[in-house]
Amino acid sequence: MSETLSEPKRVLLIISGGIAAYKSLELIRTLRREGVAVRCVMTKAAEEFVTPLSVAALSEDKVYTDLFSLTDEAEMGHIQLSRSADLLAVAPATADILARMAHGNANDIATTVLLATDKPVMAAPAMNVRMWDHPATQANIATLKQRGVEMIGPVEGDMACGEFGYGRMSEPAEIASAILSRLHAATGAQAKPLAGRSAIVTSGPTHEPIDPVRYIANRSSGRQGHAIAEALAQAGAAVTLVSGPTRLADPAGVETVHVETAQQMLDACLTALPADIAVCAAAVADWRVSGKADQKLKKDSGSLPSLALTENPDILATLSKTGSTRPALVVGFAAETEAVLEHAMAKRKRKGCDWILANDVSEGTGTFGGDRNRIHFIDENGHQDWPDSTKVEVATTLTEKIAAHFAGTTT
């Protein structure tokens, strides 16, 4: 996920009472894998969703739930607890705890340590879409941001209540990545091997309109491309992310350009040139309708509409052959459903790019829309099979290879 911290760091994780509390268990596990010590505070409502025993087992530390425990106050008072960590993170951050944070309440152990801390605070909101959109919540968010609280998400998606929209908590890997980035930035511990370099990353699908309400697209979530953009930024590169329509929040420290069509994506990439690195992770629609209908096509016309298709511009091939403005390193992706290596190797030669990351996206793999990826790395010397990994881990591995490439070393 990131380079190892030069010295042990501690996060105080505050778990509040929402259904997304179950994700806090994976967040603890991820941070612990990265060498971060995690101490947890739970609200009473959080205990209705996950048990202190589970949290203690994963964090390997005591869990704090009661403000008035005399033993805790003798051994670890709330002031010391609030300042013993390098960073405080609230995940999930419900509408209730965000409101109490904004108004300076201190009526339980969670809000007391938040009010008493002098350390950075991050929050990952999680709530119903109507609660997120409510003016009171938005006012509380604005207040907290003004005070320096960094928000991670939320993202758009399906909710436990059956509704859809913004308010879904970011995935644990994304929250962990943001926390680690903040820890690195605060201590200066993170090496910046790509400092002074610039990068273009494409991500997500493209939407090619058929009429004002319909479009051609694919199942790409954008998670891999967004993770790569963030990893490159953490390594010091100045990153422009050109993203098709996704439900993801813009990565921290990245300039994001939002587009819909393949032509718009290509135009944005060309505008971002010159760049040292281009990573084409977007799943661009190969075709578009040659003549988009100005009005909605009606199915009650008595006949099926005839759609004439034309090829979309080839972004990877174009960036690989842009002459004097060609990036020094052009990386493409090959999403295949059969003969993955053979098709990907042929694609690398055909497109003229330097590297190809091939993956199997056939039905049942869960690659499109999922959190994991299995990569076959291909360059002029052959191929490497990377182990099954999270998309954040793939992004880190790729960034390390890019940094080694520019340093003149191999990995």
Annotated binding site: 286, 296, 313-316, 333, 347, 351
Alpha helices in 52-152 (DSSP H): 52-59, 70-75, 78-83, 95-102, 109-116, 129-133, 135-146
Q: In whole angstroms, what is the distance from residue 23 CA to residue 45 CA?
A: 15
The reply to whether 40 belongs to the active site is: no
310's enclosing H/E stretch is strand 309-311
Query: Is 344:334 a contact under the CB 8 Å cutoff?
Result: yes
Q: 274 and 328 in contact (C-beta within 8 Å)?
A: no
| 195 DSSP 8-state letter | T
Smallest CA-to-CA distance from 122 within 30, 226, 12 is with 12
Among candidate residues 387, 373, 396, the one with its CA nearest the CA of residue 191: 396
- Cβ(111)–Cβ(46) under 8 Å? no
| Sequence-ordered alpha helix ranges (H) in 153-205 | 172-187
Contact 193, 399 (CB under 8 A): no
Parallel, antiparallel or unpaired: strands 215-216 and 208-209 = antiparallel
Q: Which residues contact 356 (CB under 8 A, 6 or more apart)?
A: 331, 332, 333, 334, 344, 345, 347, 348, 377, 378, 379
- Cβ neighbors of 381 (< 8 A, separation 6 or more) are none
Which residue type, as a one-letter code, is found at position 244?
Answer: G
Residue 34, CB half-sphere, CA atoms under 13 Å: how many?
A: 29
Count of beta carbons in the 10 Å neighbourhood of residue 13: 25
Largest alpha-carbon pair distance within the chain?
A: 80
Kindly compute the dihedral angle of the four CA atoms of residues 162, 168, 174, 180, in this order, to the nearest 10 degrees: -140
Angle between helices 109-116 and 95-102 (to 10 degrees): 40
Per the annotation, where are the binding residues for CTP?
286, 296, 313-316, 333, 347, 351
Cross-strand pairs, 42: 15
Report the catalytic residues: 161
